[in-house]
Structure 1
Amino acid sequence: MAEGKATGLTIERRFTTEGESPYDTVEWSKRDSRITNPDGSVVFEMRDAEIPADWSQVAADIMVSKYFRKAGVPQYDEAGQVRLDDAGTPVLGPERSARQVIDRLAATWRHWGEKHGYFATADDAQVFEDELAYMLLHQMAAPNSPQWFNTGLHHRYGIEGPEQGFWFVDPETEELTPSPDSYSRPAPHACFIQSIDDDLVNPGGIMDLWVREARLFKFGSGTGSNFSHIRAEGEPLSGGGKSSGLMSFLKVGDRAAGAIKSGGTTRRAAKMVILDIDHPDVETFIAWKAEEEKKVRALIAAGYSSDFNGEAYATVSGQNSNNSIRMTNEFLHAVQNDEDWHLTRRTDGETMKTVRARDLWRQIAEAAWASADPGVQFHTTVNEWHTSPAGGEIRASNPCSEYMFLDNTACNLASLNLGKFYDDATGEFHLDDYKYAVRLWTIVLEVSVTMAQFPSEAIAQGSYDYRTLGLGYANLGSVLMRMGIAYDSDEGRAIAGALTAILTGYAYATSAEMAAVVGPFPKYHENTESMLRVIKNHRRAAYGAEQFEYDTIGHTVVGVDQRICPADMLDMAHDAWNEALTLGELHGYRNAQTTVLAPTGTIGLLMDCDTTGVEPDFALVKFKKLAGGGYFKIANQSIKPALARLGYTDTEIADIIDYVVGTMTLETSPHINTRTLLARGFSKADIAKIEATLPGVFELGFA
């Protein structure tokens, strides 16, 4: 590895103009935001919030209801002056403009980056801030929700809050340090993996985990743990007697998460529960949620509400987590060969029960069919792509399973809106802009690790040691549709593979560039060989290598299809991984991981994506929320450009959209119309009422 450090990162202007504020590149509008329950009761309301004019009402509602800080923010009068009370003290209240929120994020990232020597000059830091503000304003990218909740509250408003038991590693002294308050160091990480020991009340044990989880849920984050160290039901206890088993404790954690969901101010708790396939309680765990769903069905049949937030679901357990089974290749081979599988005690590793592997597989399939849980995680495959095995095996994931790494680490996410890089008029995907955005947001996420605080000493140390990042994208399904390419097609998969290769390749290249400036992640040197092996395997996949060319990979790797991938995308994917490897061999990497593909359930809507994450579109017809209240049925906004790309005329496109959406009137309906309804005994007043409701209903039966 090269000796010495580079002087700092240079940032070029791409979307902004020197001397022009990025906030002047959008038109602003005043919006009312109102969130209601299904029964019409108001959950949240704010009038005259300032939002970019071209944002949808859904995006505006998410910004205002979820991401505006609701207290502690100085209030301004119409002249832009801080309002003072009779004692001359600033009047405090909520944020009232998206520019306030975006400013506190971009300015805080710039502040921490500058403070810790990431940028070559102050001008580079200013460009960094301007470009990020532009991309947020124009819905080109978004960080994960905890950044919106927490980042910049102290830097911009001086909000501190009480000490909450958080920790960080001081970059100057490299010592673990308790955080003095809630916000001087924000909590920007969405994804956590926490360890749990087979201990009831001591630090690191079962009851301690519920406290650590609660600390994360309070600040809007999610957490996952592998519970396989916990003794099974019937195993001996050190003080005599028998263990009550894993399930009794999981129910406690489930109730705790449910309570925080009900009392939280940001969003519901998110947790992942994972169990190894050889745990003696695995059969009960597999059936847990499916059995509870049977109770729910019985209560609904007895007259209770079927709403997920209703009393029927609140009465049963297992509803506040995602559950997954961790399985090895050995188990899969046992299923394939119809062999027995041994469930082993946690205390001494001896066999406690023997079952047919195929019976377990069948139980998993039936439970997932009945209740959507458990999921499966392929332990062997995940660890074959592990960059840092010297730190131990990867055993768990965050709640949505995009982040898989060592226990007691965290990952902060951001996603790029692919739709903003595609030009409908020319059919061109702006690869250079995409590459630029990947670099910029990789820097954001790395700076966010430096500024962050963490819910335990172990996570603070693990996150400092490995500095894992989670850059991803959203709107893939929409972009493929607008290109006129089927999502489930070889060409669609080739494009998705190339875009993902560009994302991860340039993220690692940027990580190596940062390593030249501020050094590689602390545990890099003990993992150098393993990390470079993984990087080389990624590069092989970008080049569509043959299976025998991969190093220490026991499964079939599906690389980018070199035959049908667009040439410009393929060339950039190759360049990305060449650069990632070349720079990494010179400088190492600042981050043990750089990318994930998250569901983007909230930020995808904030960016007005038609499709979230990597998913295809779930429906061609959707409901657009109107600023004044109510909904209007629309066709997916990608349908029109997709049909145009496929060569349909304007008239044909209009006819197709009318067919998909419906005419929303009885007048031109061929079978059920004003004449037929009158013949059936409906009055003109009845028909007029039906007609008035049609624009806002999914189908005629709801009118």
Structure 2
Amino acid sequence: MTQTTTETRRASRKPSGLAVQRVFTTPGVHPYDEVTWERRDVVQTNWKTGEVVFEQKNVEFPDFWSVNASTIVTTKYFRGAAGTDKRESSLKQLIDRVVSTYVKAGLDNGYFAGKPDAEIFGAELTWMLVHQYFSFNSPVWFNVGTASPQQVSACFILSVDDSMESILNWYKEEGMIFKGGSGAGINLSRIRSSKELLRSSGGTASGPVSFMRGADASAGTIKSGGATRRAAKMVVLDVDHPDIEEFIETKAREEDKIRALRDAGFDMDLGGRDITSVQYQNANNSVRVSDAFMRAVEMGESFDLHARTTGEVVETVDARTLFDKMARAAWECADPGIQYDDTINSWHTTPASGRIMASNPCSEYMSLDNSSCNLASLNLLKFLREDDTFDTERFVKAVELIITAMDISICFADFPTEAIGRTTRDYRQLGIGYANLGALLMALGKGYDSDGGRVLAAAITSLMTATAYRRSAELAGVVGPYSGYAPNAEAHQQVILKHQAANDEVETISEVDRQVHSAAAVQWSEAVSAGRKNGFRNAQASVLAPTGTIGFMMDCDTTGIEPDFSLVKFKKLVGGGSMQIVNHTVSRALKNLGYDKDTAEAVVAYIAQNGNVVDAPGLRPEHYEVFDTAMGVRAIPAMGHVRMMAAVQPFLSGAISKTVNLPSEASVEDIADVYMQGWKLGLKAVAVYRDNCKVGQPLSSGSEGKDDNATSESGQAKPQVRVEYRPRRRRLPKSRAARTTSFSVAGAEGYMTTGSYDSGKLGEIFLKLGKQGSTLAGVMDAFSIAVSIGLQYGVPLESFVQKFTNLKFEPAGLTDDPDIRIAQSILDYVFRRLALDHLDFDERAELGIYTADERTHYVETGSYLSEEDEAAMIESEALKNDAADDIKVDGPGPRQPSLIDVDAISQAPLHAPHTTTEVMEQLTGESFDAPLCMTCGTKMRPSGSCYICEGCGSTSGCS
């Protein structure tokens, strides 16, 4: 679409334009001529069948681009029909297609003083893109310079009113955005609640949660951008809406269905054929809370829920109870997240044009309804000099060029709806951000969860946003401020002053901090001065996006604001295959910390073997924090993530796409604390994810292991005496009861034989599959021995069942067992059968495993047990309690029979892994209930609120 008539008049009144100086390029030398190019073949196969799903040979990339980066760009961003001359085959073609469009639009719209300045601008952009200094967001690479609509924005916010016409229009607009490969967010709080009456008929309204069902079905049907990933969307509801409790519990209830269906043998994986039978799975949900609500939670006070139509109080609830329900639901299924309404709107630059009501799906873009934002992200590690100083001069120039390009794109961009196009052109929201912060901090020897790490992150973010607003003010002097600036001028300038004041409060620690912070102070001063003179070209300038796919394009070790996920990664090799390597930033960090070459090499070798630095030879414990990662042995605590977000939030126009990861043993109270501290520390939004929360585990009180006597009367910490125990193997008797079960899984037949102690407790298993002497038979024999030894050393059968049920690989499918109709794999079948044969009902119910009769009884009566079984269970429990009451012991009492040898002291590390999965979790740092990539089968990892595949760059929602 073309620029408005008003903008055309402004451009004609200000013909001077920008003078662009060379920073990165050399006069007379094309950026492409400064690097060595090579040809590669890109081949991707289906992980399951081995079938080639993508192949393009002889593609051209710089020799320093990794195989992974070139693969992702070739498969995701090259345009044209595969196998034809119109298909792009070189990075040069891709960059030229995009940059030439920006240069032409800049010239046509009066941005440059002359053609030579435009040419320099294009060369500088080209150089930075080739050298992976930054990247535009994915829609730019998809669409700019092609025959497709020139959509450049990745983030959208919609609106809906309390009418059927508006609700149906919401479905339509959201569908069009999904079709274009992007995501959208919306606040449903204007829709009247299910506790209010309809004006037309006097009947009861459906409520927003009911209408969410239709939108969710639409999102699940329209594959985003025509690809295999699901659409990305955010649904927000205000905390004072009468249907807020139903909204909070919606996804948690659906997760109960998922567990029940999966345990019955249905395919409930992301993208599975049966997942569509449950609802509300295509959106991230967030509750929009006010300061008044959070204060009521703190004080334990009541809180009013208001009708949407009249504003009257419909219901009064206990604020703390409602808040606890939010935390409990998030504990169970990671939803809802939380958004802090008053904080968001206190940093709003255009309040005269309306409040900020919602965000995009990943929560980093927060602006007016019916608006969009295009993004670009810098690779921070590129600005770290060899002498370990931060190149502020180049960083400032890079931000200037990128912000200019991003604003130019709005002049030619197309938008999915007229309302979004109008708002975006009137307010020109931009979202510059960065990636590789975690790698930068590690390279400098700074812990992610440390004062030094937070100060440097704050200073860099401040410098980025200050420079962006200063350039925005300069652009306003050339082509005019955004159309909605005049009524918002005072508010916008006040927000700039708030940013500047926050920068003044940063207390630097090291020389690199002081250097960056000083540069930021200069840029804020200039932004304030230029803004007062010219106004601002953009209503907002910066956000921190997840940078999933584009992070791989830039060969970043870490995405967005995230820390490193692991110290060990798998690197793709030319010609196929991969190798395990220790991140190169580890060696640089060790050098910065003062270690000699021999010690550094020993530490790297230790990490390669163990995946962490605990007890690494020669490494001092006070330096462990530098190598802390998101997952694994030394996982960064939840509040470490929150504190980092709080450090950079005052220097962002928008917010931060980041999920606070918690371990599976985290409690509901832990999540409530994250939500409360997020508010107190001034965040705009928080999302949480508890590892394995999708599996459905029993709630933890969070109080176990706390010692009220951990300090002496003087307040000093008491020395702790730690006793560790070594397990003792309890062998089976020579003669024992055995049971053999034949089974068939998808036509693959086998036999399982179990042996038990005299008490009936399982002590061994034997699995026979395939031909005697075959590889499969040998592997299963070895596996049987490993599990049997574990059982005899006291590992509970429940632990094996938890680990091996739902494990998915071929053969998988129908079985001949009436209790287990479908199995995800042979091991899935085996351990479900073991659970049914050897665990009591309560233990199985906790794991979601039931017999066919129990499931049938539940469908008919709502209970898994018959009345007789329930009565027998109650009687049995009563007898146990009576027997326990008869036992009175003074002191700690006699030791109960156990498989644990209390006299032996184990020398094993406290967090030593016990299973292959735990070993891999320590090595890779990945969340092991993340979905498999639907393209290449690699285990995905969290990226913002979605998942990203490190193998091929596919995402589960966010582009």
TM > 0.5 between the two? yes
Cα-to-partner distance string for 1:69-89 (whole Å, 9 max, x where unaligned): 1339xx9xxxxxxxxxxxxxx
Aligned partners of 2:181 and 2:224 also within 8 Å: no
The offset of 1:654, in angstroms, is 1.9
Q: Is structure 2 residue 524 aligned with structure 1 residue 577?
A: yes
* Counterparts of 1:251 and 1:292, CA distance in 2: 12
CA 1:326–1:701: 2 relative to 1, 3 Å: closer
Corresponding position of 1:208: 169
* Counterparts of 2:323 and 2:919, CA distance in 1: 43
Alignment partner of 1:223 out of 173, 184, 201: 184
Aligned partners of 1:260 and 1:269 also within 8 Å: yes
Q: Which moved more, 1:484-493 or 1:626-635?
A: 626-635
Q: Is structure 2 residue 157 aligned with structure 1 residue 193?
A: yes
Corresponding position of 2:507: 561
Corresponding position of 1:52: 62
Corresponding position of 1:463: 424
Corresponding position of 2:695: none
Aligned partners of 1:141 and 1:416 also within 8 Å: yes
The offset of 1:571, in angstroms, is 1.1
Corresponding position of 2:204: 242
The offset of 1:499, in angstroms, is 0.5
Alignment partner of 1:444 out of 405, 413, 431: 405
Alignment partner of 1:307 out of 269, 293, 297: 269
Corresponding position of 2:489: 528
Aligned partners of 2:233 and 2:361 also within 8 Å: yes
Q: Which has the larger radius of gyration?
A: 2
What letter matches 2:172 in structure 1? V
What letter matches 2:435 in structure 1? A
Aligned partners of 2:466 and 2:524 also within 8 Å: yes
The offset of 1:352, in angstroms, is 2.0
TM alignment of 1:222-621, pairs within 5 A: 222-240=183-201, 241-261=203-223, 264-265=226-227, 268-305=230-267, 307-423=269-385, 425-544=386-505, 560-562=506-508, 566-621=513-568
The offset of 1:508, in angstroms, is 0.4
* Counterparts of 1:655 and 1:54, CA distance in 2: 27
3-state SS of 1:602 partner: helix
The offset of 1:214, in angstroms, is 1.7
* Counterparts of 1:41 and 1:391, CA distance in 2: 54
* Counterparts of 1:494 and 1:228, CA distance in 2: 38
Cα-to-partner distance string for 1:23-63 (whole Å, 9 max, x where unaligned): 22222222222334441444433222222221112211210
Aligned partners of 1:599 and 1:612 also within 8 Å: yes
What letter matches 2:275 in structure 1? Y
TM-score of the two chains, using structure 2 as the length reference:
0.61
Corresponding position of 1:29: 38
Q: Is structure 2 residue 580 aligned with structure 1 residue 636?
A: no
* Counterparts of 2:359 and 2:92, CA distance in 1: 34
CA 1:539–1:363: 2 relative to 1, 3 Å: same
Cα root mean square deviation, aligned: 2.6
CA 1:701–1:355: 2 relative to 1, 3 Å: closer
What letter matches 1:634 in structure 2? I
Moved over 6 A (4+): 683-686, 697-703
Aligned partners of 2:103 and 2:121 also within 8 Å: yes
CA 1:266–1:603: 2 relative to 1, 3 Å: farther
The offset of 1:563, in angstroms, is 5.3
The offset of 1:649, in angstroms, is 2.0
Aligned partners of 1:145 and 1:220 also within 8 Å: no
3-state SS of 1:17 partner: coil
* Counterparts of 2:504 and 2:234, CA distance in 1: 35
Corresponding position of 1:650: 597
3-state SS of 1:472 partner: strand
* Counterparts of 2:474 and 2:485, CA distance in 1: 15
3-state SS of 2:192 partner: coil
What letter matches 1:46 in structure 2? Q
The offset of 1:583, in angstroms, is 0.5
Aligned partners of 1:149 and 1:219 also within 8 Å: no
3-state SS of 1:9 partner: coil
What letter matches 2:374 in structure 1? N
The offset of 1:469, in angstroms, is 0.5
**How many pairs align?**
613
Aligned partners of 2:180 and 2:225 also within 8 Å: no
3-state SS of 1:50 partner: strand
* Counterparts of 1:701 and 1:456, CA distance in 2: 46
Aligned partners of 2:428 and 2:538 also within 8 Å: yes
CA 1:37–1:351: 2 relative to 1, 3 Å: farther
CA 1:611–1:432: 2 relative to 1, 3 Å: same
The offset of 1:307, in angstroms, is 2.7
Corresponding position of 1:95: 88
Corresponding position of 2:102: 109
* Counterparts of 1:263 and 1:407, CA distance in 2: 23
Cα-to-partner distance string for 1:632-657 (whole Å, 9 max, x where unaligned): 22212211111111112222222212
Corresponding position of 1:624: 571
* Counterparts of 1:656 and 1:298, CA distance in 2: 46
* Counterparts of 1:531 and 1:6, CA distance in 2: 26
* Counterparts of 2:462 and 2:190, CA distance in 1: 36
3-state SS of 1:29 partner: strand
* Counterparts of 2:507 and 2:55, CA distance in 1: 50
* Counterparts of 2:80 and 2:251, CA distance in 1: 36
Aligned partners of 2:182 and 2:225 also within 8 Å: no
Cα-to-partner distance string for 1:543-580 (whole Å, 9 max, x where unaligned): 11xxxxxxxxxxxxxxx224557221121010010010
* Counterparts of 1:325 and 1:287, CA distance in 2: 11
Aligned partners of 2:15 and 2:110 also within 8 Å: no
What letter matches 1:592 in structure 2? A
Alignment partner of 2:140 out of 143, 147, 159: 147
* Counterparts of 2:553 and 2:536, CA distance in 1: 32
Unaligned runs of 5+ in 2: 1-11, 612-772, 781-915, 924-959
What letter matches 1:538 in structure 2? H
Cα-to-partner distance string for 1:176-197 (whole Å, 9 max, x where unaligned): xxxxxx43xx100011111111
Q: Is structure 2 residue 28 aligned with structure 1 residue 11?
A: no
What letter matches 2:544 in structure 1? L
* Counterparts of 2:918 and 2:330, CA distance in 1: 30
3-state SS of 1:377 partner: strand
Corresponding position of 2:624: none
Cα-to-partner distance string for 1:345-370 (whole Å, 9 max, x where unaligned): 21212222221101111011111111
Aligned partners of 2:195 and 2:242 also within 8 Å: no
* Counterparts of 1:381 and 1:564, CA distance in 2: 30
* Counterparts of 1:222 and 1:364, CA distance in 2: 24
What letter matches 1:13 in structure 2? R
Q: Is structure 2 residue 64 aligned with structure 1 residue 71?
A: no
* Counterparts of 2:577 and 2:191, CA distance in 1: 50
The offset of 1:261, in angstroms, is 2.1
What letter matches 1:484 in structure 2? G
Name the % identity: 47
CA 1:315–1:132: 2 relative to 1, 3 Å: same
Aligned partners of 2:152 and 2:409 also within 8 Å: yes
Q: Which moved more, 1:479-488 or 1:20-29?
A: 20-29
Aligned partners of 1:339 and 1:356 also within 8 Å: yes
* Counterparts of 1:236 and 1:71, CA distance in 2: 54
Q: Is structure 2 residue 69 aligned with structure 1 residue 123?
A: no
What letter matches 2:177 in structure 1? L
Corresponding position of 1:133: 126
Aligned partners of 1:6 and 1:516 also within 8 Å: no
What letter matches 1:116 in structure 2? N
3-state SS of 2:595 partner: coil
* Counterparts of 1:482 and 1:32, CA distance in 2: 32
TM-score of the two chains, using structure 1 as the length reference:
0.83
3-state SS of 2:372 partner: strand
CA 1:508–1:701: 2 relative to 1, 3 Å: closer
Cα-to-partner distance string for 1:196-226 (whole Å, 9 max, x where unaligned): 11121x3xx1111121112112222211110
The offset of 1:340, in angstroms, is 1.2
